[in-house]
Amino acid sequence: MGADDRRRIRAGPGAAQRSRRRTPRRDGLREQVRPVGRNLAEIRGLTNQVIRRLERVEGDLLAERHARVDDLALLVDLISSSWKSVDERLGSLEKSLQSGEGAIVYRIEERRAETG
């Protein structure tokens, strides 16, 4: 058993693969690709951030829409109850006019003659 055999045994079973991986071409390629990988990671992070912001904006818009629908429902209820009240008052006025229990009507000409 020679010195080379002992070195291979000490280095372990993956030593041959590691020594093959460390070629100048691979090192050069790795150095060129590393900034691209960082850029891709940054783009991925920014994309996730944009997605989160869009989801938040979508949630805010949905909440605003629901609030406007609630406001509209309240407004419709107020208007319809107001018209019901007006209808009831007109109905009571019509009844009082038909039954003859209305107000006393004074003619302007008669009032002028009495005072004048």
Per residue in 10-57, pLDDT (tens digit) is 666 655 555 555 687 787 878 888 888 899 999 999 999 999 999 999
Maximal C-alpha separation, the chain: 149
pLDDT score at 10 = 67
- pLDDT for 104 equals 73
Write the DSSP assignment of 66-82 as a string of letters.
Answer: HHHHHHHHHHHHHHHHH
pLDDT per position as a tens digit, 58-105: 999 999 999 999 999 999 999 999 999 999 999 988 888 788 766 677
Does the predicted TM-score (pTM) go above 0.75? Answer: no
